[in-house]
Amino acid sequence: MHDKTIRRRRAVLALLVVVSLILLTDYFGESPSSPLHSLQRGVVAVLSPIQDGASKVLSPVRDVTNWFSTTLKAKSENAHYVAENATLEKELALDQYAQIEYRKDQKLLGLDTTDNLRSYGLLGANVIARDTLLWNQDITIDKGSADGVRVNDPVIGQDGLVGDIYEVTSGSSSIVTLITDPKFAAAAMIEDTGGVYGVLQPDVGNPSALQLTDIPPNSSSQVQTDQVVVTSGFKDTNDPSIESYYPGGIPIGTISTQNPQDSITTNGQVQVTPFVNLTQLSFVQVLTKPHAGS
């Protein structure tokens, strides 16, 4: 029974192939007005409206499909561009940071060269901590006694004097007293005055300013606004063991008192605006041999 079914199917298939060949032969051999061509035109005429209708019906489906495809592709490309943009922004930020650090290093190098500070055992250190409430009093750096740092060693920044070492750990950190700390004091002088000396101290009540005090009244005529104040680096000629912790010539700031002559005559002091921005310190240098050049 099974074999008969198979033979029947094969016979039908062979018959269809033969009929197809006959029809193709007649179709291509007959003229355009033949019955087969007429039948083709009739079938096309009947099916054409159905095809157009199906095309119109399926058009929104194709549009929706294309929209989803385009949207997904756009989202994928957008995610790629966002990631690429984030990478470029990160690289730009790193490059800008490197440029800032380079400029700081150049300023420090210029300060070292101009003021001849290289002979004082300069040691670079990073600022690793500061008190957010007492930002004008001290900072912590990543160098300690193991690096040759000692109490009272001067500390400078890219623009001038920062302070001195107040406390040294046995490891690798130290606390720096800033020049605006109430307990700070240093001998200083006003440049281009022939030697007007005084004591540099914080301006009480104004954490961003300093005072140069104990200025002799007879020197008031030599002092003007915007003159530069530097460390004096004094040394007692009668007792050489008595000398300033700071080498002479380290920049501190400029005189900012509006009428320094009147101020000196009245109370023997003038206000000084420091060069160093103490709120933005990230790198400093410690003078580990402050008396090497004396």
DSSP characters for 263-283? HHHHHS-EEEEESS-GGG--E
Summarize pLDDT for 94-118 with one digit per residue, the tens.
665 555 554 555 455 455 544 556 6
Summarize pLDDT for 122-154 with one digit per residue, the tens.
888 999 998 777 777 899 999 999 899 999 999
Pairing of strands 228-231, 251-255: antiparallel
Summarize pLDDT for 3-27 with one digit per residue, the tens.
677 777 777 777 777 666 665 555 5
pTM greater than 0.75 (yes/no): no
3-state secondary structure of 148: coil
Multiple choice CATH, 115-294, 2.40.10.340, 2.60.40.420, 3.90.650.10, 3.40.50.850: 2.40.10.340
pLDDT of 294 higher than 50: no
The length of the chain in residues reads: 294
Summarize pLDDT for 209-231 with one digit per residue, the tens.
999 999 998 888 889 999 999 99
Give the bridge partners for 286, in sequence order: 123, 155
Distance between CA atoms of 27 and 5, rounded to whole angstroms?
Answer: 33
pLDDT band at 161 (very low <50, low <70, confident <90, very high): very high
The larger pLDDT score, comparing residue 2 to residue 262, is at 262
pLDDT band at 293 (very low <50, low <70, confident <90, very high): very low
158 phi and psi angles, rounded to 5 deg: -70, -20
Q: What is the mean pLDDT of the chain?
A: 77
Summarize pLDDT for 170-212 with one digit per residue, the tens.
778 999 999 999 889 988 999 877 778 999 999 888 888 999 9
Give the residue among 69, 127, 58 at the shortest CA–CA distance from 278. 127
DSSP state of 204: T
| Domain boundary assignment for the chain | 2-62, 115-294
**Rounded average pLDDT over 54-78:** 68
CB contact at 8 A, 236 and 242: yes
Range 21-48 burial, b when 16+ CB lie within 10 A, else e: eeeeeeeeeeeeeeeeeeeeeeeeeeee
